[in-house]
Structures are given as C-alpha cells and as structure tokens.
Amino acid sequence: MSKQNDDFFKNIISHAKEYGFVFPSSEIYDGLSAVYDYGQLGVELKNNLKQYWWKSMVQLHENIVGIDSAIFMHPTIWKASGHVDGFNDPMIDNKDSKKRYRADQLIEDQISRYEADGKNEAAAQLQADMDEALNADDLPRLKAIIEEHNIVCPQSGTKNWTDVRQFNLMFSTKMGASAEDADTVYLRPETAQGIFVNFLNVQKSGRMKVPFGIAQIGKAFRNEVIARQFIMRMREFEQMELQFFVRPGTELEWYEKWKETRLKWHVSLNGGAEKYRFHDHVKLAHYANAAVDIEYDFPFGFKEVEGIHSRTDFDLAQHQKFSGKKLQYFDPEINQNYVPYVVETSVGLDRLFLTILCNAFEEQDLSTEDKKDSRSVLHFHPAIAPVKAAVLPLTKKDGLPDKAREILNSLRIDYSIQYDEKDSIGKRYRRQDAIGTPFCITVDYQTLEDDTVTIRHRDSMEQERLPIPQLEQMIAEKAGWKSLLNNQV
C-alpha cells in the first residue's frame, strides 16, 4: 500500500471511530482481535445497506423470498457441507516472533512485492506454483516455496518457520446442560446451509416454482488465522446471501445473469464502474463449476467484496445423503423430479460497509488566498445516509427552536433526522458533513415571516430557499429508496 493510501485508510478508521460508526470491540479491555462493534451511526448505515439489499433481492423479485435461520444447526450439517473436514487454511508459525500466518497470504505478499518491482515473470511463476500446491493440498511444498523465495516473517525478519499445518476455521462450542451429554455444535461459518436445509420447507409452504431464490441476512463466524485491515477480515461478521435454485443444465446462464445483476447493484450504490472488477476463480471449490469474485478497489488494492458461485447440486445432494431425506423438486413443465442446481451470491455486509466508507470519505481543502480551511465529508448516497437531514435553528432564541422542533417532529416518523442548536451554524454544517447528512434545514428569522427555510446541500455546499410544506417531498425524491433503486436499471 502506498504511503498516501495507507494514510487515507488510517484516516477512515479514525474517522469511523470518532463519529460513532465503528468501535473496536471490548475496547476498555484493550479490544478483541478482529471483532468490532457498530456505533450509533454505524448501525443506521448498516441497517440501510441491509434494507437496500433486501428490497433489491426480495421485494423486487416475485420468485425470491427471505428467511432467518438459526446460527446453531445440527452438527451433521457441517459434515455434509464439507466444512468439518475441508474448511481449513494452511498456517505457519514463525518460531522467533511466535506469530502465526496464513501460508498462502505470505506467498501472495511476495507476489505483490515481485509485481511492485516489475518482476512480472517471477510473480506469475510463483502464483502458478502456489496454485498447484494449494490444489494438491501439498503442505510441505507450500513450506518449500516459502523457503525457496526467502520469505521472512514481517515481525522478526527471520526464516525460522514451523511446518505448514491445516487449521479449521470453525468455532465450536458445547450444547446441553451437563458436560457429559454435551454435543459439539458449531457457530455457522456461512449462512448458506440454513437455506439449503430449509429448501423444501420454503418451496412447499411458499408454493415456489423453480427457478426461485431464498435470501438471508445473518451473522457468520470464522476463526481467521490472521485478521487484518479493519472490518475487512473479521472473526464475527455478517453475510447477505442468495441461493437461487434452477433446473440442472441452466445454471451457467443464471450464473452469468447474477454476475451482471450484482455488479450493477454495487455500481449503483457506490458509482464509478472503474472501482470494480471481476476476478474469476482459477481454483474452484469442490462444489462449484464456476465462481467469480466481485472485487472493489480498496486503498490496499482490489479485494473481494462478493462471491458468486455456481454450486451445482452439491449441497442439496449432500444433505439428501447425510439426512436420508429426499430434497427433490417435481418440475411440472418437464414432468421430472430432480435435485435443483444452485447459483449463490454472497456479499459480506461489513466489507460492503467498508467500500461505502472508502468511497464516501473525503478530506476537502477549502482554503482560499486569505484563509486556510478544510472539511471532512462523507459523500453517502442520500438513501443510505445514517441521518437524512439536520434541523438547525439559527439562534437559540426568539422562537426559532420551537419552529425547528415543529419541522423535526413532522419529518422524524419517516426519516432519521437530527436537531442541533449548539455552536455557530458553520460548525454545525461541518459536523453534519462529517457524518454524511445530505441536507441541513436552517430555520431563521425569515422562516417566522414566510414559512420558508434554507436547505444547505452537503456535496455542493449550495443553499436554496424552500417552503416548509415542500420539505417532505424534497427528501422523498432525493433520499427515498426509489432514488437509489432506479439507479440499477
């Protein structure tokens, strides 16, 4: 990461904390690694992102419905899905620093260094060698690669490595009152399995016809070997997943369709198609016949924000096998029973949140010849902004606060609105800029005479005069869901 990008990213993290978006978890106890809490504005932004996803996926599709399955599930589910035996990362420890790393990430960092030095051939060769070793689950070979390329521990600077071992990423706990009859259960590492095991329940109770989808938003847990880059890689995070059930043989068509739909969705939210790219998986997971990541250009480079996978009939077929229950669909159009194929779209809510922060954050220099000036601003799309408008009486006297509170009360049922009367009006505008409020509504002496207010726009800082009865319509037009959903078409 360049120094400039590094500084930008650090500023985002401190801004997120200073203004109540994201706090390190358990901070007064020195934090808990890779776990974060969302603050008073973070939760509003996160809820808005969930709503936007839910409306786009469920509300606007006749053939998609949602569920909310439990985090705890029968432990055999994770046997059937392959997570008990195969949800591993290759890890390696440095004996001097006692630090643990993911072997593949150490190698990827080396590839980036080769690329930065213009050694593209070496980078490509190393990538190919690593892919081959990962595909073959050849752990000694991974260690040999690390040694051959003289990869040192970033902390100790030494090559004193342990062997590479597999590390299962699932958290487990015990269910039941007494230890003896306690059963090991897992905190789900993905929300998808809750959808698969409910496939027939939803299909039958909702009279769904293939092709149809089931969507879910919920927490997932992974004991990541190393967690870094703020809310990019967490141990407790949230996913928004769609499993779309299709007739076998049509899955690649649907895969292409969802790829395009999901990319458009991200672009509609964050603008700028150049900030996104597809990254096709070279190494396909055992269950997939096609897979791609949608990557966003974070300050630390292009990284995955959403995965789209054509999962074949792997999951349903496995659950049929392990549960002994049929998970088939009778397709009246072709008069056949089959296990549907599945196309999955899976986006991490926290990573999405981070793309929004990175895209929105700006430190603007507003200096003129006579005066130094600057502001921090979050350019959120108004529909997802945590606060839609702030009502600000110009002074604390002469009935202006009463008038301002009247406006606040008329808008707050439908929109999240703040009231602020402290400090100068300029300072109050800057405070709202820093939390991304698109509109400031200023109540002044003219308001008492003609029932108009000043609307100050966050991005342009321009001001206009508007009659109070038109406020609601203005906010609905500019910050209502339609303003964002229409972006997608």
Distance of closest approach, residue 350 Cβ to ligand ATP, in angstroms: 5
The nearer residue to ligand ATP, 347 or 440, going by C-beta atoms, is 347
- CB distance 480 to 439 below 8 Å: no
For ligand ATP, which residue of 91, 92, 107, 234 counts as binding (CB under 6 A)? 234
What is the footprint of ligand ATP within residues 343-402 (CB under 6 A)? 346-348, 350-351
Backbone angles phi, psi at 88, to 5 degrees: -120, 155
The nearer residue to ligand ATP, 95 or 283, going by C-beta atoms, is 283
Q: Are strands 88-93 and 165-168 parallel, antiparallel or unpaired?
A: antiparallel
Binding to ligand ATP by CB under 6 A, coded x per residue (else -) over 209-228, reads -------------x-x----
The nearer residue to ligand ATP, 80 or 347, going by C-beta atoms, is 347
Using CB under 6 A as the binding rule, whether residue 472 contacts ligand ATP is answered as no
For ligand ATP, which residue of 143, 233, 319, 388 counts as binding (CB under 6 A)? 233
Farthest CA pair distance, the chain: 81
What is the footprint of ligand ATP within residues 176-215 (CB under 6 A)? 190
The nearer residue to ligand ATP, 77 or 417, going by C-beta atoms, is 77
The nearer residue to ligand ATP, 346 or 432, going by C-beta atoms, is 346
Stretch that binds ligand ATP, among 132-140, 304-312, 330-338, 445-453 (CB under 6 A): 304-312
The nearer residue to ligand ATP, 115 or 224, going by C-beta atoms, is 224
For ligand ATP, which residue of 44, 104, 251, 306 counts as binding (CB under 6 A)? 306
Using CB under 6 A as the binding rule, whether residue 305 contacts ligand ATP is answered as yes
What is the footprint of ligand ATP within residues 324-353 (CB under 6 A)? 346-348, 350-351
Distance of closest approach, residue 292 Cβ to ligand ATP, in angstroms: 11
The nearer residue to ligand ATP, 279 or 457, going by C-beta atoms, is 279
Distance of closest approach, residue 272 Cβ to ligand ATP, in angstroms: 19
Distance of closest approach, residue 169 Cβ to ligand ATP, in angstroms: 9
Using CB under 6 A as the binding rule, whether residue 255 contacts ligand ATP is answered as no
The nearer residue to ligand ATP, 64 or 347, going by C-beta atoms, is 347
**Looking at beta carbons, which residue is closest to ligand ATP?**
348
Q: List the one residue out of 468, 445, 449, 456 whose CA is nearest residue 397.
A: 445
Using CB under 6 A as the binding rule, whether residue 38 contacts ligand ATP is answered as no
Residues that bind ligand ATP (rule: CB under 6 A) add up to a total of 16
Using CB under 6 A as the binding rule, whether residue 239 contacts ligand ATP is answered as yes
Site of interaction with ligand ATP (CB under 6 A): 190, 222, 224, 233-234, 237, 239, 304-307, 346-348, 350-351
